[in-house]
Structure 1
Amino acid sequence: MSQNRNNNEEDQLKQIALVVRSLINSTKPPCTLRDILVDFEEFEGCPLPTRSLGYTSAEELLAETGEFSFQQRKCETIVTAKPSEKSAHIVALVMEQNESYKSRKRPGSRDSSESCERAMMRHFNSNRQF
């Protein structure tokens, strides 16, 4: 029974590593751990299962896979996927991409990615008559 559990956890770690590697490779560096956690939940529909797999932190879980390296910059943890032959061409393509319009915006400028619902609520609340 415990052998099945170990195999299941091993399979989960491999799947998590695959998803996280894809998230990192599709983003221009630097890629923060916080960004990965947000993107993982967005794409997988659930948060990274850190505690349920017996880890105390997301960094510990990702380090266990052996596929990522970590650096501390200021107050952020930067995560890098260790090179693999399968993903090298994707990384090269992402690195050659032009900077997106969203990332060129000045800090503090209004983000056009604001959700429609939030924009409508803000508009509704600002036009209320008391």
Structure 2
Amino acid sequence: MDNLLRPIYQERASHPNTLAVIMIERRNKTSSLTDNFDAALLVIVKEADEPVFIKHYEFDQKTASLHVVTDSQIQEWILLGTNRRIIDWIVNGRVMFDRNEYIAELIDRLNTFPFAERKLKIG
């Protein structure tokens, strides 16, 4: 699957706006984690016209989805907990591209869960 998706994520990674690319592969026959796609690519960008853009691919009986999400949308999902799947994608996904250690810092922030964010979650 990696060979099929390589041109897609390399093209996205070459943009200066792209912060990170993560690949999530299906673990079971039916996986809600990837919406029953064989793989999902999460591309995190600084800015975009739309905060979330999703595109689907199919090739040789394999399916994949591409999720282009802005950094501000990721931060909102993490803080509000409205997209629980995104945390699993970030923590357990395979990092294909990481500009300036963006994902490493994000995972560290998720693991430490800063006090200010804890207070917001309590309320």
Same fold (TM over 0.5): no
- Identify the TM-score tier after normalising by the shorter chain: under 0.3
Compare the two structures and name the one with the higher helix fraction: 1
Q: TM-score, normalised by structure 2?
A: 0.27
Q: TM-score, normalised by structure 1?
A: 0.26
